[in-house]
């Protein structure tokens, strides 16, 4: 037996470090995850840093060299009415989609939760509108809403609601409402399927016990369903908002951001600036600003909406 | 009896409404794509086709660049599928079957990349691809699509990998199986439904991708289906017959794949979310 000297303590620390960090499991773990992490670093982290570099230059066409212009692009974006309008449109877009999709998804999930013939098949095929390519969704709705031969215009006319076929994408407000509804049609079944899975995990005993105590439907919803769904609603709120913010193709292919920029959200503005107006560095600055805005949103959302927040638990 | 009907009527009606909302638009484009041109644009739409023709499909397949788009999309989707399955399955094995420090952090990083808005990468990605000489190459699309699909694929695999008992692996190890042998002979067959689900997810992600394809691909010959069809939408005179046939033909491969593993797909989707 020897006394514990600093050197043996260090040796022991090293041994435990080695056994933990250099054990086969650790090495193997990292070796298995590494390919994906490297891939993501090269295709997300590197471009992200690159966009900061691009944003302080004055590149217009891609491939042409640019000079250092400092924060000019940022200043221009922040003072541009287009950027502010797009930010506002994005906010309306995200909120509008969240409201419509949440209502539709809840309704669909509650329907699918019931027992009826074919409910197993319905629970799978409901996400059809989400799995088909967006370009198909766009063609479907352009066709249904078409002013010549479109079924929606024809039905509304037959019912006497309108006299003349309506161009749904020809005025700012109707265009915005139409794209929100179409995007919600594409996404609500996805949310419904996730909500359904969460609803099915709530133990039936909870509801039975509440019934015994004389709780009504609303009370059950308020005190059992809603709290049980908190974690899922939190994730859906955060990730759903980011995914919905990112939507570009539905808007671009239905309205091109018009009429007169009414449906130009930030993704549309970035795309348009970089690849239609050929102001690459300007678009890079907008991307960085957008990233910062989303980061702030995510931080606030996590801070105030976390299911285990202080106000709820204590 | 009457009581039962009355009780079930609201449910039946709401189920019907839900199905109509989701399915009717599809019915409408499928049936319209086989109507004669004059019936398609008739002022009074017909619920059931009064005429029947394959002329739009004939035009689509023999007198339009659609088959080229289809080939390009297939190449990109299959490439994306293979790389995603390999990367995501390896990562899932590491994250869900091995215990090591830093595991949780890696898992979170991968999750964050899933929610990361791709549009922020648009400009620098174009810059990067042009430096690598990959603009107008299908390879560029495969690279981007894997990035879009792989993080969620790892998440989907969670449910399938976690349910396999650890004892199976231990027993096999005692019998002298190597780690690779355990993965290939025991884990993969048991996680097969999950692997099928992520393969389809990767395929569909790539099949749908428009944003990056529309800027990274320049020439007509390299266009994928979404970009190609969007080009037809943008033409001055809209050829609805052709577009509807194109939409149907584009949706079809997805429907077939989804029909095969739709159940696993939805299972992976939901199990990851409500863990």
Q: Are residues A37 and A86 in the same domain?
A: no
* B191 in contact with chain A, both atoms CB, cutoff 8 A: no
ipTM, 2 dp: 0.88
Residue A85 clears pLDDT 50, i.e. is over it: yes
Share of chain B above pLDDT 70, in %: 95
CB B197 within 8 A of CB B41: no
Most confident of A51-55, A96-100, B153-157: A96-100
Residue A36 clears pLDDT 60, i.e. is over it: yes
Range of the domain at A216: 73-313
Q: Are residues A130 and A177 in the same domain?
A: yes
User: How sure is the predictor about A167, in pLDDT bands with cuts at 50, 70 and 90?
Assistant: confident
**Is the pTM value of this prediction over 0.80?**
yes
Q: Are residues A46 and A112 in the same domain?
A: no
Residue of B nearest to A44 (CA): B121
CB contact under 8 A, B121 and A140: no
Q: B144 to chain A: which residues are within 8 Å by CB?
A: 43
Residue B3 clears pLDDT 50, i.e. is over it: yes
Q: Are residues A185 and A109 in the same domain?
A: yes
Residue of A29, A246, A279 to mutate, testing the B interface (most B Cβ within 10 Å of its Cβ) = A29
pLDDT at B261: 82
Q: Are residues A260 and A209 in the same domain?
A: yes
Alpha-carbon distance A251 to A264, whole Å? 8
pLDDT, chain A, mean: 84
- Residue A232 counted as domain residue: yes
Q: Compare CB distances from B120 to A25, A135, A290 and report the shortest one's residue.
A: A290
Taking the CA atoms of residue A106, residue A111, residue A115 and residue A120 in that order, the dihedral angle to the nearest 10 degrees is -80
Q: Compare CB distances from A242 to B115, B211, B233 and report the shortest one's residue.
A: B115
CB contact under 8 A, B25 and A144: yes
- Residue A65 counted as domain residue: no
Among A28-37, A128-137, A186-195, A289-298, the least confident range: A28-37
User: How sure is the predictor about A311, in pLDDT bands with cuts at 50, 70 and 90?
Assistant: very low
Q: Are residues A260 and A307 in the same domain?
A: yes
CB contact under 8 A, A197 and B119: no
pLDDT at A312: 41
- Residue A225 counted as domain residue: yes
pLDDT at B275: 54
Instruction: Compare B37 and A198 and report the one with higher pLDDT.
Output: A198
- Residue A63 counted as domain residue: no
- Residue A39 counted as domain residue: yes
Q: Are residues A105 and A16 in the same domain?
A: no
Among A35-49, A201-215, A287-301, the least confident range: A201-215
Give the tokens for residue A75: 């200043």
Instruction: Supply the CATH number for residue A103's domain.
Output: 1.10.3720.10
Helix (H, G, I), strand (E, B), or coil: what is residue A64?
Answer: coil
Q: Are residues A91 and A152 in the same domain?
A: yes
Q: Compare CB distances from A140 to B41, B154, B247 and report the shortest one's residue.
A: B247
The DSSP call for residue A287 is: H
Other Cβ atoms within 10 Å of B272 Cβ, number: 20
Q: Are residues A161 and A250 in the same domain?
A: yes
CB B93 within 8 A of CB B198: no
Residue B274 clears pLDDT 70, i.e. is over it: no
Q: Are residues A22 and A106 in the same domain?
A: no
CB B130 within 8 A of CB A62: yes
Q: Into how many domains does chain A fold?
A: 2
Residue of A nearest to B103 (CA): A29
CB contact under 8 A, B12 and A116: yes
User: How sure is the predictor about A308, in pLDDT bands with cuts at 50, 70 and 90?
Assistant: low
Alpha-carbon distance B121 to B144, whole Å? 10
Query: Measuring CA to CA, how many Å separate B12 from each of A43, A105, B26, B169?
Result: 48, 18, 21, 48
> Count of A–B CB contacts within 8 Å?
275
- Residue A60 counted as domain residue: no
Alpha-carbon distance A84 to A186, whole Å? 27
Q: A131 to chain B: which residues are within 8 Å by CB?
A: 204, 254, 258
Give the pLDDT confidence of B97-153 residue by residue, as tens digits: 887 788 888 888 888 888 888 888 988 899 899 889 999 899 999 999 999 999 989
Mean pLDDT of A163-185: 88
Q: Are residues A209 and A103 in the same domain?
A: yes
- Residue A163 counted as domain residue: yes
* B119 in contact with chain A, both atoms CB, cutoff 8 A: yes
CB contact under 8 A, B258 and A151: no
- Residue A66 counted as domain residue: no
Q: Are residues A205 and A294 in the same domain?
A: yes
């Amino acid at each position: 037996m020897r006394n514990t000297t600093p050197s043996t303590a260090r040796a022991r620390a090293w041994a435990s470090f080695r056994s933990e960090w250099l054990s086969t499991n650790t090495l193997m773990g990292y070796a298995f995850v590494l390919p994906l992490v490297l891939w993501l670093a090269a295709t997300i982290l590197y471009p992200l840093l690159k966009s900061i570099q691009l944003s302080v230059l004055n590149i217009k066409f891609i491939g042409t060299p640019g000079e250092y212009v400092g924060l000019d692009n940022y200043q221009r974006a922040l003072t541009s009415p287009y950027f502010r309008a797009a930010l506002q449109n994005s906010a309306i877009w995200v909120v509008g989609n969240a409201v419509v999709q949440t209502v539709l998804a809840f309704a669909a999930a509650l329907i699918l939760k019931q027992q009826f013939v074919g409910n197993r098949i319905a629970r799978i095929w409901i996400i059809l509108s989400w799995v088909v390519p967006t370009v198909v969704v766009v063609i479907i709705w352009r066709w249904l809403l078409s002013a010549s031969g479109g079924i929606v215009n024809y039905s509304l006319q037959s019912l006497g609601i309108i006299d003349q076929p309506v161009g749904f994408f020809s005025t700012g407000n109707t265009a915005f409402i139409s794209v929100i509804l179409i995007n919600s049609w594409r996404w609500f079944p996805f949310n419904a399927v996730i909500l359904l899975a969460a609803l099915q995990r709530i133990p039936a005993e909870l509801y039975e016990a509440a019934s015994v105590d004389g709780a009504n439907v609303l009370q059950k919803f308020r005190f059992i369903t809603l709290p049980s769904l908190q974690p899922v609603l939190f994730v859906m709120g955060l990730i759903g908002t980011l995914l919905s913010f990112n939507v570009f193709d539905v808007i671009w292919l239905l309205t091109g951001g018009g009429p007169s920029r009414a449906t130009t959200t930030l993704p549309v503005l970035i795309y348009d600036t970089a690849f239609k107006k050929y102001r690459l560095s300007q678009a890079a600055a907008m991307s960085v600003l957008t990233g910062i805005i989303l980061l702030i949103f995510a931080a606030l959302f996590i801070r105030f909406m976390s299911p285990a927040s202080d106000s709820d638990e204590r | 009896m009457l009581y039962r009907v009355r009780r079930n009527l609201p449910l039946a009606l709401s189920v019907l409404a839900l199905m109509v909302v989701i399915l009717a638009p599809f019915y409408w484009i499928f049936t319209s794509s086989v109507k004669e041109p004059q019936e398609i644009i008739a002022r009074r739409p017909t619920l059931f086709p009064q005429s029947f023709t394959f002329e739009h499909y004939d035009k689509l397949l023999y007198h339009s660049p659609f088959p080229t788009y289809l080939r390009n999309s297939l190449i990109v989707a299959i490439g994306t599928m293979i790389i995603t399955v390999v990367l995501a399955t390896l990562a899932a094995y590491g994250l869900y079957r091995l215990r090591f420090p830093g595991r949780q952090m890696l898992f979170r990083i991968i999750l964050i990349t899933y929610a990361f808005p791709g549009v922020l990468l648009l400009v620098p990605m174009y810059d990067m691809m042009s430096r690598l000489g990959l603009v107008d190459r299908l390879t560029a699309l495969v690279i981007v699509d894997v990035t879009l699909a792989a993080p969620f694929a790892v998440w989907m695999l969670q449910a399938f990998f976690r349910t396999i008992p650890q004892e199976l692996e231990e027993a096999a190890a005692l019998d002298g199986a190597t780690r690779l042998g355990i993965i290939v002979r025991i884990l993969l067959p048991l996680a097969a439904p999950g692997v099928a689900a992520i393969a389809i997810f990767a395929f569909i992600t790539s099949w749908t991708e428009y944003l990056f394809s529309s800027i990274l691909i320049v020439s007509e010959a390299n266009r994928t289906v979404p970009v190609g069809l969007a080009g037809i939408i943008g033409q001055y005179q809209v050829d609805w017959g052709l577009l509807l046939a194109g939409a149907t033909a584009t949706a079809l491969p997805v429907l077939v794949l989804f029909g095969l593993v739709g159940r696993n797909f939805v299972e992976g989707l939901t199990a990851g979310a409500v863990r």
